[in-house]
Structure 1
């Protein structure tokens, strides 16, 4: 049986019934609507039995997920979500029911897609983007929601021959509380968020009283070996013949797509 077709029918039923004005947005009502679709959901969830998750367990999680998502939308703003958003959400969310922060992104996206005041900011790529995030990626996005920019430093080898390409010795790194020594994962997350089109580099724009932020980054463990080389070269007045090693300051900021993603998928702070 065509599983995608089943999910599409499920999403269309949800759009038609759960969002109907005459229905009350209660857990009971949502449960009744889900009960009518038990057979379809059990077929959808069959492939996950091998992962130790029963169809009954997943059905219950779907009920919680849908209830929580719809109740985030004011009743007067509720409208059916487009299947291009709701279908892939239902396909993907069951994979992360055990990962609360990722599941919450899907829930917020479904809520935004069901809110007539927010639908215009939704892009179909958002579901795919969530599926390519990990908890550390989400943490970095959370930082940008409040800080607007993330100061970073990187170290590059820049050839004196303009025809040659520069390359990173130390990839861009930001100081994140609890991850000050986690260079590999922070650098990988920053790279992933750029690849997904959510972040972009900008020139350093930091208030004067926060200029020491860059010095803190430079003094952190990931830069130790490069820092020692640069300090030795400066101290002994050494230089490299064909290249220069340069520490670069900058800030990561959200792209337009990134701002829309945060507004759609992260709940606004109270």
Structure 2
């Protein structure tokens, strides 16, 4: 038996102890000896029982998960591998049953198991990370992965430019007419990207700050260009919002302006991304 297989088997034993002490589904039978003997794959099949009871046919690509997990474990020095916290592994395997066909979410769970199996970083793997992944859409997982790769290394308080288009007077009295516009979006995706970031802010991965802006104005060049090149579309798409502001302030001296802000990575968010993304 290889070292990676041995660690996977110890993971199976950890899950067995977990379900013995804290039954996940009390009305279901405990894992059979056969399931335990099949290792992680057998336990994945056992954990799918709730879906079977609900009448939902779930397709499990056990080989892909096993291949990804084995590859992740083999990246680590043998002496650093430990049996992961049964709470983490139990919650993760349950969640995998529901996201088995979503490659981006599935990969985040596999990386989380890998982090929980590394004695150097296992203490920083929080059970809440499982719940966060469960509350992400596949597009949000892609967005996080893209931001993480572009950053190279996530640093706490890393700032990304954001702005809102607004109708305002020369004295800058006015109101925003668009949702936040980020440098990592295009015009047609402004609303959907804003919704995704709102969810990531809710989950405390990011913090949106309109009281400050990035000192180097060049950081806003991409998002400024996006708005300026689509001013006609903005006036058309957000015409009702423009009318709302004009009804309050009058239309005489109003012009399209911008309110800059910044999107920061929280301490919690930086650790989450480091433990769940490659």
Shift of 1:93: 1.0
Contact 1:81 1:114 in 2 (8 A): yes
Q: 1:156 to 1:185 in 2, by over 3 A?
A: same
Between 1:198-207 and 1:168-177, the stretch displaced more is 168-177
Shift of 1:194: 0.3
Residue of 78, 82, 104 corresponding to 1:79: 82
Q: 1:44 to 1:135 in 2, by over 3 A?
A: closer
Tell me, in whole angstroms, the C-alpha distance in 1 between the residues paired with 2:39 and 2:143: 40
Tell me, in whole angstroms, the C-alpha distance in 2 between the residues paired with 1:127 and 1:95: 12
Q: 1:74 to 1:37 in 2, by over 3 A?
A: closer
Tell me, in whole angstroms, the C-alpha distance in 2 between the residues paired with 1:180 and 1:70: 41
Q: 1:124 to 1:43 in 2, by over 3 A?
A: closer
Contact 2:12 2:40 in 1 (8 A): no
**Counterpart for residue 238 of structure 1:** 253
Tell me, in whole angstroms, the C-alpha distance in 2 between the residues paired with 1:171 and 1:72: 42
Residue of 54, 57, 66 corresponding to 1:52: 57
Tell me, in whole angstroms, the C-alpha distance in 2 between the residues paired with 1:114 and 1:37: 14
**Counterpart for residue 221 of structure 2:** 212
Q: 1:250 to 1:79 in 2, by over 3 A?
A: same
How many residues end up aligned between the 2 structures? 228
Shift of 1:13: 0.4
Contact 1:144 1:150 in 2 (8 A): no
Q: What is the TM-score with the length of structure 2 in the denominator? A: 0.66
**Counterpart for residue 204 of structure 2:** 197
| 1:93-104 alignment runs, 5 A limit | 93-104=96-107
Tell me, in whole angstroms, the C-alpha distance in 2 between the residues paired with 1:142 and 1:121: 19
RMSD: 3.9
**Counterpart for residue 67 of structure 1:** 70
Gaps of 5+ in 1: 1-9, 18-31, 159-165
**Counterpart for residue 153 of structure 1:** 163
Q: Deviations over 1:94-129 (max 9, x none)?
A: 221211111111011111111111123222210000
Shift of 1:249: 0.8
| 1:1-270 alignment runs, 5 A limit | 13-14=13-14, 34-35=37-38, 41-49=44-52, 50-53=55-58, 57=60, 59-60=62-63, 63-64=66-67, 66-145=69-148, 146-147=150-151, 148-155=158-165, 169-176=177-184, 179-202=186-209, 203-205=212-214, 207-219=216-228, 221=230, 223-225=234-236, 229=242, 237-238=252-253, 247-267=258-278
Gaps of 5+ in 2: 1-9, 18-34, 152-157, 169-173
**3-state secondary structure, aligned to 1:170:** coil
Q: Deviations over 1:198-243 (max 9, x none)?
A: 001242216344442242242365733459959xx89x7436xxxx
**3-state secondary structure, aligned to 2:188:** coil
Shift of 1:169: 3.5
Tell me, in whole angstroms, the C-alpha distance in 1 between the residues paired with 2:146 and 2:257: 27
